[in-house]
C-alpha cells in the first residue's frame, strides 16, 4: 500500500470514536511528539488553575467586594462568571486544543484577525514585565520577614517625624490646632476634628525603604539595587521552571499551585481566632452587606471586569496551555473545574484577609473601612502591618509573602509560555532544538525591560502599565475574539470542531453556549467597554498625579497593542490575490493550514473539506488519496452497520 493510503487508513481508524476510546496513546504521554503534550491531565489542571489564580484573587477581589456592598457583590460576580467567564474560558480552551497552536497561529481560522493574536502576545509581554516586578516585591518582603521584630513593626531609624505607630487626632480649638487631643477632660466636636498627616510604620517602610519612592514620574532616580537583585532572582526562578517548557513547569506547579491554599487556610484559621475578626468578616460578607448596591451599574461593571481579569481571558495564556492537551481531552469539564476553583479561591482569600484586618481595626480602635486599602496598599502596607501585631509575627509574614510569591510565579509561568510558544510555532525548525536557550533569552530580555520598574520611580511605571494595559484593552481583544470565532469563522462550525474532540452533543446542550457566545457575552462586553470609556479618569498613584507625558505614554502602549490588528489585516489583504472583495472574503475563511495538528485527528470532515477545495482538473496523487479515503469511509460505514 502506498504511503498516502496507509496514512489515510490510520486517519480513518483512529478518529473513529469507537476506536479512539481504546487508543492507548490518547490521554497517556505525548500523542503529539513534534510539539509535546502535558505529561498528565493533573499537570494541565494545576497549571491552568495557577495561571488563573493570581494576585488579583488575593488583593483585588476582597477590596471590590468591600467597596461594592460586601456579600451583595457575590451576586453580580457569580452572574458574570456564568454568562461571560465560563463560556469564554470554555471557548478559549476549545480553540487552543483543537489546532494545538499558540494565540497567533490559532487565527489561521480567521486570517484577517491574526493581529488579535499578536495583540494578545503584546499584552502578555508588557504585563509580564511588571508582574515580574511584583514578584520581586514579594521576594524582598519575604527576605525582610526573617527578622524579629519585623522591620516595619515600629518606626526605626528610617522613619521621619510623621511616622507613628498610633494614629493622632487634632482638634481645632478657637482657631488653634491642638495635636494628640485626648478626651479625658473635654470632647472635641466632630466638626472641629482635623485629620493629621501621620503615616504608619508599614506605610513609611514601603515608601522609604522598599521602594525608596521618588516624588513622581518626572523624578526617575537611580535603580533600587535590592529590588533589582530580587527581580534577577525572580527571573532565574521562572527560567529554571520553564527550561524544558511544560515538561518542567508541569512538575513545579504541583507545589506552586497547591501551597497557596495551605497558607490561605492557615491564615484563615489563625485570623478567625483573633479578637475583632468577626467585625472584619461581617464587613466583608456579613450583616453589613448592602443589597441596594445591586442597582448601581458600577457594581456590575466591577464584577465583569474582575471576572475577565481573574480568569485571564483575552491574554492568550488559556489558549496556549490548552494547546498542549491531547486532542480528545474533555476541556468542557476542565473549564468548570478551573473557573469555579478560581472563584472559590477569591472568596476564601477574602475571609483570610478580612479576618486579620478586623483584628487590626480592633487594635487601632478604628472602623475596618479605614484599614482597607486597594492593591499594593493592601498587600504591602495594611496586611503586613496587621501581621506585625500577631504573636510570632515573622512566621506569619514569611508565609503570607511566600504565598504571594507562588501565586505570582504560576501566572508568570503561563505568560512566558505564551511568548515562547508563539516563537516555537512560528519558527519550529529554528527553535525546536533550542527551547532552553529561547526561554533563557526571553527571561533575560524581560529582566532588562523591568529595570526601569525598580528605579525610585518604578512604582509609577508599574501602576501606569497596570491601569492602561491590563484593563479595558482586554475587553477589546475578548470582543474581537468572539466576533472572529462565532460570527466570521462560524459558531456552528466551531461547535462541530468541538464535537470532533468531545463527541456528539444534544441541541439542548449547545443552546446555552450559543446564547452566551452569540448574544449575552458580546453584549455585556460592549456595555462594559462603553461604560469604561465614558467614565475613564486619569490614573494616579495615591495622591500623586501622572504628568501629561506619562498619560500620553500610557495611551501609546494601548495604541501599540491594538495597532497590530489593522496593520496585520492590511498586510494580509495586500499579500492576497484577486479583487479586493475576493481577497477580503478569502481572509475571512479558514486557511489551508487550519486543521487539527495531527493527521490522525483530522478525520473525514477535514479531509473532505480539503478535497473539495482542490480546483485543479488534473488528477494528482493527493486527489487519488481523497478518492481512496472516500471509498474507505463508505466501506467502514457499511462494516459498522452490519455489526
The whole-angstrom separation of Cα 629 and Cα 146 is 68
**Quick one: CA dihedral 341, 531, 519, 73, positive or negative?**
positive
Find the distance separating the first CA and the last CA of the chain, reported in whole Å.
26
Q: What cell numbers appear for 251 in the block?
A: 512538575
Tell me how far apart the alpha carbons of residues 601 and 477 are, in angstroms, rounded to a whole number. Answer: 29
Q: Cell numbers of 505, please?
A: 452533543
Q: How far apart are CA 352 and CA 236, in angstroms?
A: 30
223: three-class secondary structure by DSSP? strand
411 has binding-site annotation: yes
Q: Between the CA of residue 76 and those of 175, 233, 473, 631, what are the distances in Å?
A: 48, 40, 22, 55
DSSP letter for each residue of 344-396: HHHHHHHHHHHHHHHHHHHHHTS-GGGT---THHIIIIIHHHHHTTSTTHHHH
Q: Which three cell numbers stand for residue 44?
A: 494541565
Q: Residue 53, annotated ligand binder?
A: yes
Residue 57 marked in a binding site: yes
Place of cell 501629561: 548
| CA trace torsion 564, 565, 568, 573 (10° rounding) | -160
CA–CA dist 575, 470 (Å, integer) = 33
Annotate 343-381 with b (16+ C-beta within 10 A) or e (fewer). bebbbebbbbbbbbbbbbbbebeeebeebbbebbbbbbb
Q: What is the rounded CA–CA span in Å between residue 313 and residue 318?
A: 7
Residue ranges with strand state E in 366-500:
none
Q: Reduce the DSSP state of residue 171 to 3 states and report it.
A: strand
Decide: 418 and 102 in contact? Cβ < 8 Å: yes
Cell numbers representing residue 133 in the block: 516586578
Spatial CA neighbour of 324 closest among 89, 97, 641, 534: 97
- CB-CB neighbours of 417 under 10 Å: 27
Does 342 count as an annotated binding residue?
A: yes
Structure-block grid coordinates of residue 338 = 478551573
Nearest to 412 by CA among 25, 168, 135: 135
Cα Dmax for the chain: 106
Closest to 234 (Cα-Cα) out of 130, 125, 145, 135: 135
- Spatial contact of 459 and 376, defined as CB atoms under 8 Å apart: yes
Q: Where are the alpha helices (DSSP H) in 84-242?
A: 86-99, 114-144, 201-204, 225-241
State the sign of the Cα–Cα–Cα–Cα dihedral 299, 304, 308, 314: negative
Nearest to 243 by CA among 425, 434, 54: 434
Query: What string of H, E and C letters represents the secondary structure of 300-311?
Result: HHHHHHHHHHHH
Q: 310 among the known binding-site residues?
A: yes
Q: Which residues are annotated as a binding site for Na(+)?
A: 50, 52-53, 57, 310, 342, 410-411
Q: Which residues are annotated as a binding site?
A: 50, 52-53, 57, 310, 342, 410-411
Amino acid at each position: 500500500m502506498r504511503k498516502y493510503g496507509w496514512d489515510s487508513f490510520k486517519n480513518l481508524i483512529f478518529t473513529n470514536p469507537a476506536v479512539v476510546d481504546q487508543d492507548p496513546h490518547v490521554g497517556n504521554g505525548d500523542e503529539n511528539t513534534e510539539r509535546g503534550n502535558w505529561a498528565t491531565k493533573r499537570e494541565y489542571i494545576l497549571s491552568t488553575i495557577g495561571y488563573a489564580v493570581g494576585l488579583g484573587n488575593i488583593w483585588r477581589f476582597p477590596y471590590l467586594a468591600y467597596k461594592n456592598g460586601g456579600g451583595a457583590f457575590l451576586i453580580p460576580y457569580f452572574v458574570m462568571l456564568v454568562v461571560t467567564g465560563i463560556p469564554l474560558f470554555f471557548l478559549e480552551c476549545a480553540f487552543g486544543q483543537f489546532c494545538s497552536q499558540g494565540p497567533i497561529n490559532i487565527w489561521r481560522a480567521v486570517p484577517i484577525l491574526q493581529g488579535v493574536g499578536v495583540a494578545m502576545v503584546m499584552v502578555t509581554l508588557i504585563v509580564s514585565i511588571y508582574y515580574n516586578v511584583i514578584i520581586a516585591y514579594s521576594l524582598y518582603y519575604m527576605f525582610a520577614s526573617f527578622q524579629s521584630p519585623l522591620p516595619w513593626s515600629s518606626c526605626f531609624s528610617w522613619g521621619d517625624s510623621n511616622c507613628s505607630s498610633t494614629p493622632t487626632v487634632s482638634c481645632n480649638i478657637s482657631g488653634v490646632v491642638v495635636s494628640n487631643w485626648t478626651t479625658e477632660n473635654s470632647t472635641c466636636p466632630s466638626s472641629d476634628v482635623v485629620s493629621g498627616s501621620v503615616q504608619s510604620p508599614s506605610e513609611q517602610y514601603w515608601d522609604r525603604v522598599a521602594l525608596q519612592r521618588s516624588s513622581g514620574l518626572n523624578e526617575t532616580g537611580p535603580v533600587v539595587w535590592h529590588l533589582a537583585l530580587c527581580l534577577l532572582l525572580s527571573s532565574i526562578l521562572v527560567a529554571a521552571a520553564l527550561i524544558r517548557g511544560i515538561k518542567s513547569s508541569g512538575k513545579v506547579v504541583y507545589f506552586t499551585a497547591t501551597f497557596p491554599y495551605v497558607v490561605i487556610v492557615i491564615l484563615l484559621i489563625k485570623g478567625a481566632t483573633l479578637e475583632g475578626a468577626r467585625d472584619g468578616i461581617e464587613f466583608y460578607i456579613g450583616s453589613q452587606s448592602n443589597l441596594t448596591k445591586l442597582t448601581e451599574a458600577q457594581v456590575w461593571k466591577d464584577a465583569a471586569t474582575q471576572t475577565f481579569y481573574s480568569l485571564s481571558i483575552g491574554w492568550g495564556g488559556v489558549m496556549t496551555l490548552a494547546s498542549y492537551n491531547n486532542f480528545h481531552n474533555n476541556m468542557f469539564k476542565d473549564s468548570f473545574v478551573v473557573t469555579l476553583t478560581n472563584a472559590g479561591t477569591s472568596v476564601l482569600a477574602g475571609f483570610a484577609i478580612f479576618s486579620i484586618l478586623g483584628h487590626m481595626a480592633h487594635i487601632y480602635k478604628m472602623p475596618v473601612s479605614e484599614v482597607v486599602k486597594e492593591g499594593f496598599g493592601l498587600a504591602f502596607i495594611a496586611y503586613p502591618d496587621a501581621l506585625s501585631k500577631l504573636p510570632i509575627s515573622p512566621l506569619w509574614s514569611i508565609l503570607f509573602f511566600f504565598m504571594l510569591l507562588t501565586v505570582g510565579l504560576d501566572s508568570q509561568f503561563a505568560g512566558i509560555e505564551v511568548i515562547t510558544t508563539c516563537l516555537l510555532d512560528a519558527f519550529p525548525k529554528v527553535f525546536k532544538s533550542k527551547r532552553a536557550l529561547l526561554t533563557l533569552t526571553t527571561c533575560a530580555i524581560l529582566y532588562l525591560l523591568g529595570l526601569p520598574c525598580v528605579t525610585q520611580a518604578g512604582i509609577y511605571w508599574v501602576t501606569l502599565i497596570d491601569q492602561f494595559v491590563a484593563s479595558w484593552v482586554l475587553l477589546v481583544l475578548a470582543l474581537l475574539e468572539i466576533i472572529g470565532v462565532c460570527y466570521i469563522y462560524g459558531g456552528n462550525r466551531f461547535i462541530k470542531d468541538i464535537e470532533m474532540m468531545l463527541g456528539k452533543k444534544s441541541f439542548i446542550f449547545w443552546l446555552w453556549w450559543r446564547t452566551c457566545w452569540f448574544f449575552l457575552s458580546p453584549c455585556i462586553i460592549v456595555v462594559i467597554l462603553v461604560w469604561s470609556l465614558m467614565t475613564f479618569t486619569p490614573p494616579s498613584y495615591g495622591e500623586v498625579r501622572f504628568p501629561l507625558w506619562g498619560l500620553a505614554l500610557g495611551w501609546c502602549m494601548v495604541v501599540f497593542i491594538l495597532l497590530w490588528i489593522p496593520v496585520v489585516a492590511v498586510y494580509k489583504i495586500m499579500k492576497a490575490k484577486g479583487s479586493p472583495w475576493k481577497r477580503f472574503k478569502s481572509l475571512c475563511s479558514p486557511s489551508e493550514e487550519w486543521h487539527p495538528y495531527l493527521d490522525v485527528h483530522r478525520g473525514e470532515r477535514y479531509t473532505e473539506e480539503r478535497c473539495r477545495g482542490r480546483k485543479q482538473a488534473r488528477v494528482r496523487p493527493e486527489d487519488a488519496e481523497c478518492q481512496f479515503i472516500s471509498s474507505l469511509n463508505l466501506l467502514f460505514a457499511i462494516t459498522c452497520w452490519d455489526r
